[in-house]
A and B are shown apart, each in its own frame.
Chain A
Amino acid sequence: MREKFLIFENVRQAIIICVVLLLGFGLGNNLSASYARSEMMTGSQYFFTLRYVLYSVVGLLCMLFVGSRFDYHRLLSPRFLKLSGTGTILLLMLVRVAGRVVNGSRRWLGAGPVSFQPSELAKVVAILIAAGFLGEYLRRGQRISLLHWPKAAPLAFALAASGLVLIQPDMGTAAIILGLMLYMYIIAGIPKGQVLSIFIVGLAGAAGIAVLAPYRLNRLKVWLDPFIDPQGAGYQMVQAKLAIGSGGLFGMHWGQGTSKFFYLPEAHTDFAFAVFCQEWGFLGALVLICLFALLAGAFYRLAIRTQDRKGFLLTCGCSFLIIGQSVANMAMVAGLLPVIGVPLMFISYGGTSLVINFFCIGLILSVYRLEAAREIREERMAAGLPPEDRNGLRVVHRGEDGRRGR
């Protein structure tokens, strides 16, 4: 766990460096992509950027706290999970009743300048529930199933949450919540037959939707060739393509991009990657993809070396949230996937998702810290030394895992 990872001292250093670099890219891109809209909507060029900085600071503090002083097991106790699961569902219901409507969709809870998106919270709660409940079965070596109660309890939560998100309506996030949960089930060991059924049902469901709701089929057609309706349904895709393509190999340089002048809808949020591609070119985009790949590699190394089952599943889940969503977003912007509303971590603007994102990285760092402590302890034991390391002792004793390990 603590050994060198590529050129880095260890995985933790790699993760932190990646996060800092991505945050830098994100801040720069946000400044460029949002100022025109910001000025038009608020009169100030920096409205969105200031909020981006604010949320980043909150998120960073959250990450540092969770990553350095916090034992993730405290979030995985059955009592806390039930509480947070119920709370999330209640918040989603509250959105239904008292949420703010933006762009015809009721997604936000808020008062005054502060707003909050419970559906983003639902994603991380789904990871926690899956890691907590399914991790316990994995620890015991028990097979899990989608069809047996109470093994299907996390799935029930995901279904309820994604159902509530679907009617906001926000199909993208609903699909992410459900997909995330199924992904956790697959890793945690549902039988191969069920894995196969998931894919079959998924494909059949997509086909069914396309047939039953012709407008979705039309969307699919537009996705395959946005130029059949460049001013209507295909507009966003066409503009994204123009933005990306016009960046060329080296890009138009930072701030010089043109798509953000209201040509490209959602230029600073879901489609921020297109602005990035226009200004930094193919080489810049390649660097960004490599950073995400490096981060994915670090998460993978960490997960593989983690002995604690719940910690392993937690890392898998957070990795899905951060890497999976980002890849999906980039693929969507590049026209490889239909347009679904998933954020690109650090690059696209979004308050709740940014904080949640940092929180997830904090959880992963927490997994690293505890696993590293375990390693030290085991090494000392192997060497016949008493486990006297103060740091290790204090943390291990406080954690569930520590008690078990004794």
Chain B
Amino acid sequence: MKRPKFRLSDARKRYHIFYLLTLFLMLVLAGRLFQVQVLEGTKWARIAEDQMTNSIRRNTPRGRIVDRNGEELAVSIMVHSLYVNPKEMNETPAALKGKKDGRGTAEVAAEKLAPVLHMDRDGLYKDFTLKGQFLWIKRMLEPPEYEAVQKVIKENDLPGLHFIEESKRYYTKKSMAAQVLGFVGTDDSGLSGLELALDSVLKGAETRQVKRVDAMGRTLAGSEGDPSDTKEKPMVATVYLTIDSKMQFVIEDALDDAMKRTHAQGAAIIIMDPHTGAVLAMGSRPTFDPNNFGQFPAKNWLNRAVSMIYEPGSVFKPIVGCMGLSEGIITPTTPIRDDGRIQIADRVIQNWDGTGMGTVPFEDVIKYSINTGMVQVGMQLGAQREIDWARKFGFGKATGIELPSEEDGILYNPKDMYKPDIATFAIGQGIAVTPLQELRAICAIANGGELLQPYIIDRIVAPNGEVIRKGEKKVVRNVITPEVAAQMRAMMEKVVSEGGGKTARIKGYRIAGKTGTAQKISEYGGYAAGQYIASFVGFVPADKPQYAMLVVLDNPRGAFYGSQVSAPVFRDTLQQILVAKGIQPSNSEGLPSFEGGATRDRDLPSLMPQDGSWILPEFKGLDARTIAKILATGRLTLEPYGSGTAYEQEPAAGTAVKPGSKVEVWFR
């Protein structure tokens, strides 16, 4: 077969086709690049940026919580947390170079770090060889642990191990006021107590450090966000509580002791300033250590002082008494007939011992806690007035203190109350209250009729010294007249001096109080057989009260009457506080220990240094000689006016003054 010749020109034509094809492909390529780079460019750029951006959240230390005198209760410091980048540890040349006697870096690292970190070697090895670029090994290393780890890393030239600074919370006084303070989780978020309630105030300033990393997760040089951003940590606010560490210490001790002695299921003590509503101490049992809150059952975290609800029993009688006095149903001298038992509809209500005292004045009804007498007052009040008054006294609604998980308590709807309900209400049954509600109502009697808003935050101070928030006395309403309050105070004083609360007596002091024993409400409804809530509430001194205090013991074993178990706790606690606070006894029966100046000297106010100046303390109540002595410590001079004890000063307490300045104080 004769084929036509293939000439050079034919070959050129074929090449020409290939050439055009190439140019066409280039055109397609340019079109494709236009699509990817120009049309979709921003989208790909964003994804590319995302995959290499690593942002680390850092918290500056959390704000401090201190007591009213600035004593530290909760502080935060920056500690180091260790993490591993397994890819960097095992795949970089540094890692391969480090291979000695056939062992990989991960193996060496696990072996060397296990004893330092007190962790399992095999577990560490597993972590070090995982896939990925970030894994926490141990968070919040203690400073010596951190130094030891750093030393091991340096000595063995271990790649892929890094630290991140985190804020760690320390509760300096361990379990003291644990339920009030609460605790924080690992990410610096408050989980309970004031830490939760004030989380936004306390939380350290959060800074985000954005940096670029390579595909192995290693930081690219020069890509880190300005490090000065994270170094200059703005100090966050300090929270001053109304809590007084000394009193808190005393009640914690008393609670421990009471729990041990009575084998109670739980307990709560509150001390309040009856004139302001400031909580001076608040404790709850069972308790826990907020430094290691996870090691305790969750029920220990509960602050029973605000979240436990119970039938108050006889400690409610002074309140019902006030209702009767205010409504004009009775006066302290109104004769009341006591037969030991009284029948209301189908119910028979007895006195605790079942015996009657005949006809007695009303004040004896309180003094001896006579049930039949109270029932008669209650029946005259009737359902509507009982409940209305209970509301006026602040029951049935949370007090609004700054603590979380506060309970409302339970009040009857008056329409639902049958006669026996009306009767038993007067002896503190058929109403559920929280310890804080009960104490606040008693404070209204102590302070002459003002129902106060309880508070536990004294002030919140910004780093620059500015007071962001100030806790102060707030009167919710005047519930009773000063006369009625005074009458009830007198009756309550007799409870301790002559009546059922003798076990709370402290020699030389006038104490007003009331015991209470109530059957515990069962969680299955009705009352729990053989289980009681024993309480004692009172204030001191009875004529011009300074401290009001409530002791509640939940289900004590053995003796269960308030007068037997709670009143002694009240007495012992108060006695120590009175000594510590230097409250003079009201009469000559004073305890000799008060005469010793040592105890008092220690509690004298002193000058607080600040930036080369002195912060002046409150001088009110001190004599000129003492004040002069205090001022001399800071090279300040006293300019006294008048004589006696100080009542006014210039500059005021809390003001900063330069050494050498003059301080004016008025005495009377």
Contact = CB atoms under 8 A, between A and B. Distances in A.
A43 B94 CA distance: 10
Contacts of B298: none
B33 A334 contact: yes
Interface string A37-70: 0001101000000000000000000000000000
Nearest to B213: A261
Nearest to B92: A40
B97 to A, nearest CB: 10
A320 B38 CA distance: 30
Contact of A242 (B3, B22, B51, B92): B51
Residue of A249, A296, A327 with highest tally of chain B CB at under 10 A = A327
A261 B220 CA distance: 9
Contacts of A40: 92-93
A189 B3 CA distance: 12
A405 B6 CA distance: 21
B130 interface: no
Interface stretch (A7-15, A280-288, A363-371): A280-288
B664 interface: no
Interface string A268-297: 000000000100011001100100110010
A313 B18 CA distance: 13
Given A143-B5, A189-B11, A312-B8, A244 B33 contact: yes
Contacts of A183: 18
Contacts of B92: 40
Given A248-B38, A263-B52, A242 B44 contact: yes
Interface string A218-260: 0000000000000000000000011111111100000000110
A296 B47 CA distance: 36
Interface string B1-34: 0011111101110111011001101101110111
Interface in A153-200: 183, 186-189, 191
* Interface size class, chain A: 35 or more
Nearest to A305: B12
A40 B52 CA distance: 18
Interface string B36-59: 111011111101110110000000
Interface string A320-331: 100110010011
Contact of A334 (B5, B32, B52): B32
A149 B16 CA distance: 28
Contact of A296 (B23, B37, B42): B23
A36 interface: yes
Nearest to B41: A248
A258 B22 contact: no
Contacts of A263: 48, 51-52, 214-215
A289 B29 contact: yes
Contacts of A109: none
A141 B12 contact: no
A262 interface: yes
B38 A282 contact: yes
Contacts of A376: none
A384 B7 CA distance: 29
Contact of B37 (A43, A285, A335): A285
Nearest to A41: B93
Nearest to A330: B29
Given A247-B41, A327-B22, A303 B12 contact: yes
A281 B32 CA distance: 13
A262 B216 contact: yes
A371 to B, nearest CB: 13
Contacts, number: 144
A86 interface: no
A261 B214 contact: yes
B48 A259 contact: yes
Nearest to A285: B33
Contacts of B93: 40-41, 43
Contacts of B18: 183, 187, 316, 320
B212 interface: yes
A309 interface: yes
A304 interface: yes
Nearest to B32: A334
A21 interface: no
Contacts of B48: 242-243, 245-246, 258-259, 263
* Interface size class, chain B: 35 or more
Interface string B165-206: 000000000000000000000000000000000000000000
Contacts of A144: 6
B8 A244 contact: no
A331 B24 CA distance: 12
A143 B3 CA distance: 7
A296 B49 contact: no
Contacts of A285: 30, 33, 37
Given A248-B37, A263-B52, A293-B23, A143 B15 contact: no
A245 B44 contact: yes
A174 B390 CA distance: 96
Interface string B516-532: 00000000000000000
Contact of B22 (A141, A323, A335): A323
Given A242-B44, A263-B215, A138 B8 contact: yes
Contacts of A323: 22
A246 B49 contact: yes
A345 to B, nearest CB: 13
Contact of B45 (A36, A186, A245, A312): A245
A330 B33 CA distance: 10
A142 interface: yes
Contacts of A330: 29
Contacts of A282: 33-34, 37-38, 41
Contact of B12 (A36, A281, A304): A304
A277 B6 contact: no
A320 B214 CA distance: 37
A296 B52 contact: no
Contacts of A43: 93
A189 B37 contact: no
A189 B38 contact: no
Given A187-B18, A289-B29, 9 more contacts: A241-B44, A242-B47, A258-B52, A263-B52, A285-B30, A285-B33, A293-B23, A313-B11, A327-B22
18 contacts: A36-B214, A40-B93, A187-B14, A188-B6, A245-B41, A245-B43, A245-B44, A248-B42, A258-B48, A262-B215, A262-B216, A263-B51, A277-B33, A282-B38, A285-B37, A293-B26, A296-B22, A327-B22
Interface of A: 36, 40-41, 43, 138, 141-144, 183, 186-189, 191, 241-249, 258-259, 261-263, 277, 281-282, 285-286, 289, 292-293, 296, 300, 303-304, 307, 309, 312-313, 316, 320, 323-324, 327, 330-331, 334-336
Interface of B: 3-8, 10-12, 14-16, 18-19, 22-23, 25-26, 28-30, 32-34, 36-38, 40-45, 47-49, 51-52, 92-93, 212, 214-216, 220
4 nearest CB pairs, A to B:
A245-B44, A189-B6, A261-B214, A262-B215
